[in-house]
Chains A and B, each alone.
Chain A
Amino acid sequence: MEDLAHKLQQIKKGNKEILIRLILERKNEYYKLAYVYLENTEDALDALEDMIVILYESIKNLKNPEAFYSWSKKILVNCCKQILRKRNKIIPMENTPEKTYLENYDQKEQKADLEKCLALLSPEQQETIKLKYFLDMDYKTIAQVLDIPVGTVKSRISIGLKRLKDLMGGEYYEEYRGTIIPLR
């Protein structure tokens, strides 16, 4: 950790190379996080670019070196959300790119159902569930990355899972114009 503190000190003095290496050391973690939100390579790379610029410009505000990774991921998530907001302004939702990373899943129908149902949850529930189950993050890390209390993370996940279960129950939904609308 002292090593990290030293590196951060160097970055604060303007050493870009160390910052790039720090990110590249965990590049897959960062990339997957961006991908979970954006679901395509190009946007994920854009988000990472935005992130590294913000990191470089605001690293002077980071007081605790241990928090570097959660802090940088929090910034990445915000960059992703920024891109999503722009995308929503431009492209209608039904044209969003295919979810390629799910393509090889063997139980295709079940997968499709799960995906569709997941999409019906609130964005907050979706993101906490994705962070927990797709990226294997623990509650504490999710709370840090999303900048919300741990209790909120837990409740979002449990409510989200419950709603997913209801939706997946089979008897409670039907297909309507290609979208699943839960019956009231």
Chain B
Amino acid sequence: MKNIEEQLSRLGKELDKLEAPPQLELRLRKALKEKEKPKPKLGLIAAILMALIFFSYNLDVIAYYGKTILGYEDVIEGPINKLIEDNQGQKIEKSYIFKNGLVLKLDGIMLDENRLIAFYTLDNGNNNLEDYYLSSLEMKGILRYYGESGQGKYNDSFTRIKWVHDFEPPKFFERNLTFNFTLNGPDNYLEKGSITFKLDRSKAMATKVRQKINQSIKINDATVKFHWITASPTQTIIKGTIGTPPEYLNNLLKNQYFRYNIQFDLLADGEKINHQCGGLRTSLR
């Protein structure tokens, strides 16, 4: 037995020559680099799902602008100019000429807390425009703000199209923005262009109303709570929650897993306002 132990120890002696390779330090550092600070132990918490809701409403004002802007004949001389005169938006009037002669003109922008709206025209002189379209729309400042949705309308001869396009609202520190776009056309035509302009916040439309609602109502088994309302000249957003933690817990205990849904109307001075979009999401609390 002694002999075996001696032999084993002698084998082990070979290991003494072994040294950690120099790259060890680098490897350890690399492994830890991505790791965040360890989080303190939270203890036992009940995971409660809370539904957050938000709804936005078209105020009549945007419907009005939308109609008038899209009906091209009225746009420049009519309401948009008035809008800009009233400090309700910023006139840009800068153009980009594509190599094939098409012209994109950024007429103006409007800005509020909820979004940036760009008004622009794509013009093909006397030629038909239907085979062309714009893609990859973004406003680039220090950060990028992507186009969200928009609608456009051709003139009667389909040689010109007028667009109203929503973008994510630029952050407060943005001064200069570049409107980037790509023109796509027949025969794989592809051309990128951009228009740079200075954001004039004094002309951006301010939020008119932003106040807490903090009112709850009980509908069936769920409490619906409206937290706050933000109404800008172009959009009204109401945010709130459906369900309270005890209600969710109660549902969980009863093995009821379902999602709430809700529909409601917003009345302004007794008149119903058109619902534009809404969303519902759940979060862990």
Contact = CB atoms under 8 A, between A and B. Distances in A.
Interface of A: 12-14, 16, 19-20, 23-24, 27-28, 30-32, 35-36, 41, 45, 48-50, 52-53, 56-60, 101-102, 104-105, 110-111, 114-115, 129-130, 133-136, 161-162, 164-165, 168
A111 B28 contact: no
A101 B4 contact: no
A162 B3 CA distance: 12
5 contacts: A31-B18, A35-B18, A60-B40, A114-B11, A134-B8
Given A24-B24, A134-B12, A114 B7 contact: yes
A101 B14 contact: yes
Contacts of A168: 4
Contacts of B20: 27-28, 30-31
Contacts, number: 101
Interface of B: 1, 4-5, 7-12, 14-15, 17-21, 23-25, 27-32, 35, 37-38, 40-41
Contact of A134 (B11, B27, B31): B11
Nearest to B25: A24
Contacts of B24: 24, 27, 31, 45, 48
- Chain B at the A interface: mostly helix, strand, loop or mixed? helix
A34 to B, nearest CB: 9
Question: Lowest 6 A-B CB distances belong to which pairs?
Answer: A14-B37, A134-B12, A31-B20, A133-B8, A49-B31, A27-B20
Given A114-B8, A129-B8, A101 B15 contact: yes
